Amino acid sequence: MMNDYISQLDSIVTSRISGSIVRTEGLTAAAAGFPAPLGSLALIERQAGAPVEAEVIGFRDNLTLLFPLGDVIGIRQGNRVTLARSTRSVRVGNQLLGRVIDARGRVIDNKPAPVLADRVPLDRKPPAATSRPRIDTTFSTGVRAIDGLLTCGVGQRIGVFAGSGVGKSVTLGMMAKYSSADVIVIGLIGERGREVNEFLERDLGPTGLARSVCVVATSDEPAIMRVQAASTATAVAEYFRDQGKNVLLMMDSLTRFALAQREIGLAAGEPPTTRGYPPSVFALLPRLVERAGRTPQGSITAIYSVLVEGDDVNEPVSDTVRGLLDGHVILSRKLAAQSHYPAIEVLGSISRLFTEITTPQQRSAAAIVRELLSAYREHEDLISIGAYRTGANPTVDTAIAMRGEILQFLKQSIDEKTDVAKASEELLKLAMRCQQPRKAAVAQAPVMQQPPRRN
DSSP assignment of 299-340 equals: EEEEEEEEE-GGG-TTSHHHHHHHHHSSEEEEBPHHHHHTT-
Q: Which domains does the chain have, with CATH numbers?
A: 17-87 (2.40.10.170), 90-357 (3.40.50.12240), 361-441 (1.20.1270.330)
- CA–CA dist 266, 263 (Å, integer): 5
Burial 393-404 (b: 16+ CB within 10 A, else e): bbbbbbbbbbee
pTM: 0.87
96-108 pLDDT, tens digit per residue, is: 999 999 999 999 9
Q: Counting Cβ atoms within 10 Å, is residue 271 exposed (0-12), middle (13-18) or buried (19+)?
A: exposed
pLDDT of res. 444: 59
DSSP states of 182-199 as a string? SEEEEEEEEE-HHHHHHI
pLDDT of res. 448: 46
3-state secondary structure of 6: helix
pLDDT of res. 2: 57
Report the C-alpha dihedral over residues 68, 69, 71, 74, rounded to 10 degrees.
-40
| DSSP alpha helix (H) spans, 118-253 | 144-149, 168-178, 193-198, 205-210, 223-242
pLDDT of res. 300: 96
pLDDT of res. 440: 59
Determine how many CB atoms are found less than 10 A away from the CB of residue 132.
16
Determine how many CB atoms are found less than 10 A away from the CB of residue 206.
9
Q: Counting Cβ atoms within 10 Å, is residue 42 exposed (0-12), middle (13-18) or buried (19+)?
A: buried
- CA–CA dist 433, 427 (Å, integer): 10
One digit per residue, the tens of pLDDT, for the chain of length 455 reads 555 555 555 555 555 788 999 988 777 889 999 988 888 899 999 887 888 889 998 888 889 999 988 877 888 889 999 998 888 889 999 999 999 999 999 999 888 989 888 889 888 889 999 999 999 999 999 999 999 999 999 999 999 998 888 888 888 888 988 888 999 999 999 888 888 888 888 878 888 888 899 999 998 898 999 999 999 999 999 999 999 999 999 998 899 999 999 999 988 888 888 778 899 999 999 999 999 999 999 999 999 999 887 667 778 888 899 999 999 999 998 999 888 999 999 999 999 999 999 999 999 999 999 999 999 999 998 888 888 888 888 899 999 999 999 999 999 998 898 999 999 999 999 999 988 766 655 555 554 445 555 54
54-97 pLDDT, tens digit per residue, is: 999 888 888 999 998 887 788 888 999 999 888 888 999 999 99
- CA–CA dist 314, 320 (Å, integer): 9
Q: Cα 334–349–392 angle (5° rounding)?
A: 70
Burial 309-331 (b: 16+ CB within 10 A, else e): eebebebbbbebbbebbbbbbbb
Longest dimension (CA), the chain: 107
pLDDT of res. 22: 92
Cβ atoms of 278 and 331 closer than 8 Å: no
Given phi > 0 = left and psi -120 to 50 = alpha, else beta, which region is 362? Answer: alpha
210-260 pLDDT, tens digit per residue, is: 889 999 999 889 899 999 999 999 999 999 999 999 999 999 889 999 999
3-state secondary structure of 279: helix
- CA–CA dist 21, 79 (Å, integer): 5
Which residues does 216 contact at the CB level (< 8 Å), separation at least 6? 100, 101, 102, 103, 108, 188, 191, 196, 229
